[in-house]
Structure 1
Amino acid sequence: MTSQVSNAATDKISPNLPLTDEQAQLVAHIMAFTEREIVNPGPAIFTIYGDAGTGKSVVLAHLFAQIQAAARTDTTTPLAGTENYFLVNHPEILKVYKKIAGSQAHLFKKDFQRPTSLINQIAQGKKQADVLVIDEAHLLLSQADHYNNFYGSNQLTSLLQTTKVIILVFDETQVLRMKSFWTEARLEKLLAPYRQETYRLTHQFRMQASDELVAWINAFSHGQLRPLPHNVGSSYDLRIFTDAEQMRQAIVKRNSAVGLSRIVSTSGYPSTLDGGHHYIQEGRFRMPWDQYNYTSTPWAELPQTINEVGSIYTCQGFDLNYVGLILGPPVSLNAHNQLQVNLDRYTDVEAFKHRADLTDPTELTAVKKQLILNSINVLMKRGVHGLYIFAHDERLGRYLAQD
């Protein structure tokens, strides 16, 4: 994509962005798939696989804009008059898409929904859906969640029962909670009975970093710690800090210069959804966790959030220009210089809610550890132009800081 610095989240996934040849061909291929399958008994599914930053959302933005233009303006297409929706199970990302809709001729804000809302409206006979485009499908609930008014067993299963065509993007390394626990194998098993096609995006667009650094992050998020590569990319800024306050000051400078630069952190610090302020403290550094964002503006675009610490729940799916990451107590370095995941130090109690289909203690432990590593993967890949890291564990910090 482009290497220019942007200070608006909508600039990162707008359907006005230019596509690469590969992306344009993929959009055209999925449009042909959709027009072919919409006239057949449903459902048919097109799955796009890809790691964080591989351009999945940009492809979907272009695709949905074309689908809605065809549905609303072209009487010669099989899509004419169809009722179609774009779903994402993340309130902050949904705000970005709704903001984009306001500037596009054939996109309406009502086209963009959270899955539970659409599922319940379809069940009540208030809506129907012909084509669904699902961003961040790895966030779909895979068990009931009464807190979010979902009473089915699996959101994707519910949607498959009511729709003709579904296009979704999926990345198992961004699964963060038990209630939305997925793997590629689980997804493939669920979709096996249906007509489907798949495509895998591999090129990293978000991070202006070297392939070596991206590979290092991927290894880290699978529990493998290696020395940091010397080549991180000529236009990418990687820094390791042993003082969290110094890192904060560096991010504040970046934010003043180019915007969209924020401090984020893993779990492992006091945090309760009670409306109060809960602080992360590391030496001289003391800042509150992000607060629930009731505005229509994404969290990272609110000026005051430079004084908050972002979490996976405010940052997942977003492009920041520079990100300062606090690796909290759940991850450390053991005496053998191996990465260690400490389940007892993870404070996000919602992440590990019980699942009846995970009964083997060994498997359950492995899944929980991978969810923590997935959260680190998500946070490390937020920065387009730079990643700054501070580790709570001193041994890990020293290891990362070694030349």
Structure 2
Amino acid sequence: MTHQDSSTSRLSPFCTLTDKQEKLVEDIVAFCEQHCHDRQAVLVLEGDAGTGKSLVLNTAFFRIQMESRGRDASLSLHGTSNMLLVNHPEMIKLYRNIAADVPALRKKDYERPTSFINTQNKSGIRSDIVFIDEAHLLLTRSDPYNHFRQNNQLEEILKLARVVVLVFDPRQTLKFKGYWDDTQLQKLLTGIPTRTISLTEQFRVQANPDVMRWIRGLCDGRLLSLPAPQAFDFRIYDDASVMYANIRKRDAQYGQSRILATYDFPYTLNGEDHFVEAGSFRLRWDRNQPSHRLPWAERPDSLDEVGSVYTVQGFDLNYAGIILGPSMTYDAATDRVLFHPDRYEDTAAFSGRGHITDKEEARCHVMANALFVILTRARRGLYVYATDPALRHRLSQLWTERTRHTSNMQNIPADIAGKST
């Protein structure tokens, strides 16, 4: 992986695919060819963050557009009308930047779901094939403020396309107004010919399985033993300022290294800077720049900011330094991590509960999902700092235990054994 690598290059349809990914792309294209003249058909791609869903999706979309816009009228997809939708402004920038350098693609091939739904309903035109990345971000209730007045975006898209290919990961649901689970999805797809493919191979987090196991445990409120020393650089910090200094060093070495935080620090869209503070650490939140050509994760100036779940979801980093904010505490009596929705600053995430019955459980679920997203951004290394003193102390104990165990092992290189300073 070179210093120049970016999310754009990693999602390019010209990326080298593994044999499994190539087979999956071929399967997607074949599914579209088989059903493009049917009344309706759906292909669901499931998988954790980092399993290569977006790369496979965009590569398949590129090949479909090659057939659609090519000269060979004998191909089944020739002349078809196709779109790729994603309900994420930073991801739209990424896809359109990729399209600018690919002759078979157009920037207008990529759109937000609400814009697509409203445009198609106004024109009365039905698309042949619609791809949906991050389908777990689709709205599940009306949102008039953002010009969506129906009840469910996927339900509306299904009315407007013959074939829908969607990426779905319920662990990345971040808001009540887009609150998904497998049961809801299956209920919506009842009666529609549907195929589901699960992706399991991890491409982003280049680590042994114990790293993802630890991350999932933390998101479930459990503190497992820390991952064993390995090439993936996992560290616990007692000082966020030291962690940030090390992230800057990694950025100088490898690029694409950033500080991220749980949404536990005040932030409003009023044009002013807002700051994440933890001990001696003080750095401004990511600034909203919708007109900027580059997504936040690829802007050079974002090294001097703290990223949120909304600016990094769907993107790759090389190293990530994570600040666990005040909404996460540690209970020594139960050895559990507790989530406190009343301390979570993203109050908009909890607005409107719709079909949700257990609101408190759903709030904690949304917070855990957001945590999972930011913890699974890094390819090379993950650094963690907790603001809660009890949680920070417990993590430090676990780090000491790992360090003591490592010191008893032979031939462990210093850069793999790791230090938190």
The verdict on a shared fold, with TM-score over 0.5 as the criterion, is yes
For 1:278, the equivalent position in structure 2 comes to 274
**2:188 counterpart of 1:193:** no
Alignment partners' CA distance in 2, 1:6 and 1:392: 33
Alignment partners' CA distance in 1, 2:193 and 2:246: 51
Gap change, CA 1:317 and 1:266, over 3 Å in 2? same
- Deviation per residue, 1:21-59 (Å, 9 max, x gap): 111111111211111111112x21000000000010110
**2:234 counterpart of 1:238:** yes
1:371 aligned to which of 356, 366, 380:
366
Give the alignment's TM-score, normalised by structure 1: 0.95
Is the CA contact (8 Å cut-off) linking 2:326 and 2:343 kept in structure 1? yes
Alignment partners' CA distance in 2, 1:302 and 1:341: 31
Is the CA contact (8 Å cut-off) linking 1:239 and 1:388 kept in structure 2? yes
2:375 aligned to which of 377, 380, 394:
380
SS at match of 1:81: coil
- Deviation per residue, 1:201-229 (Å, 9 max, x gap): 01110011111111111222222221212
Is the CA contact (8 Å cut-off) linking 1:227 and 1:400 kept in structure 2? no
**2:384 counterpart of 1:389:** yes
**2:335 counterpart of 1:340:** no
Unaligned ranges ≥5, structure 1:
none
1:67-216 matches, within 5 Å, as: 67-73=64-70, 74-125=72-123, 128-216=126-214
- Deviation per residue, 1:337-381 (Å, 9 max, x gap): 2111111110101110122312x3xx2111110110111100000
Please identify, of 4-13 and 185-194, the stretch whose mean Cα deviation from structure 2 is larger: 4-13
Alignment partners' CA distance in 1, 2:105 and 2:60: 12
SS at match of 2:21: helix
Is the CA contact (8 Å cut-off) linking 1:85 and 1:112 kept in structure 2? yes
Aligned-residue offset at 1:299: 0.7
**2:310 counterpart of 1:313:** yes
Supply the AA of the counterpart residue of 2:190: A
Aligned-residue offset at 1:328: 0.5
Gap change, CA 1:160 and 1:57, over 3 Å in 2? same
**2:52 counterpart of 1:52:** no
SS at match of 1:238: strand
Q: Once superposed, what is the RMSD of the aligned Cα atoms?
A: 1.3
Is the CA contact (8 Å cut-off) linking 1:281 and 1:287 kept in structure 2? yes
Aligned-residue offset at 1:126: 7.1
Aligned-residue offset at 1:132: 0.5
Is the CA contact (8 Å cut-off) linking 2:177 and 2:354 kept in structure 1? no
Alignment partners' CA distance in 1, 2:285 and 2:253: 23
Alignment partners' CA distance in 1, 2:5 and 2:13: 17
Supply the AA of the counterpart residue of 2:303: I
Supply the AA of the counterpart residue of 1:63: A
**2:246 counterpart of 1:250:** yes
2:261 aligned to which of 261, 265, 268:
265
Aligned-residue offset at 1:17: 0.9
Supply the AA of the counterpart residue of 2:311: T
Supply the AA of the counterpart residue of 2:165: I
Alignment partners' CA distance in 1, 2:300 and 2:308: 17
- Deviation per residue, 1:182-218 (Å, 9 max, x gap): 0011111111220110000011100111111111112
Count of residue correspondences: 395
Gap change, CA 1:287 and 1:131, over 3 Å in 2? same
- Deviation per residue, 1:236-283 (Å, 9 max, x gap): 111111111111111111112221111110011111122211111111
- Deviation per residue, 1:306-362 (Å, 9 max, x gap): 11110011000000111111000111111222111111110101110122312x3xx
For 2:411, the equivalent position in structure 1 comes to none
**2:298 counterpart of 1:301:** yes
Alignment partners' CA distance in 2, 1:393 and 1:32: 51
Aligned-residue offset at 1:5: 5.0
Aligned-residue offset at 1:135: 0.5
Supply the AA of the counterpart residue of 1:308: E
Alignment partners' CA distance in 1, 2:7 and 2:34: 33
Gap change, CA 1:116 and 1:142, over 3 Å in 2? same
Aligned-residue offset at 1:136: 0.5
SS at match of 1:322: strand
Alignment partners' CA distance in 2, 1:220 and 1:184: 22
Alignment partners' CA distance in 2, 1:79 and 1:151: 32
Aligned-residue offset at 1:393: 1.0
Alignment partners' CA distance in 2, 1:321 and 1:91: 22
**2:201 counterpart of 1:224:** no
Supply the AA of the counterpart residue of 1:238: F
Aligned-residue offset at 1:169: 0.6
SS at match of 1:124: helix
**2:283 counterpart of 1:287:** yes
For 2:408, the equivalent position in structure 1 comes to none
**2:25 counterpart of 1:24:** no
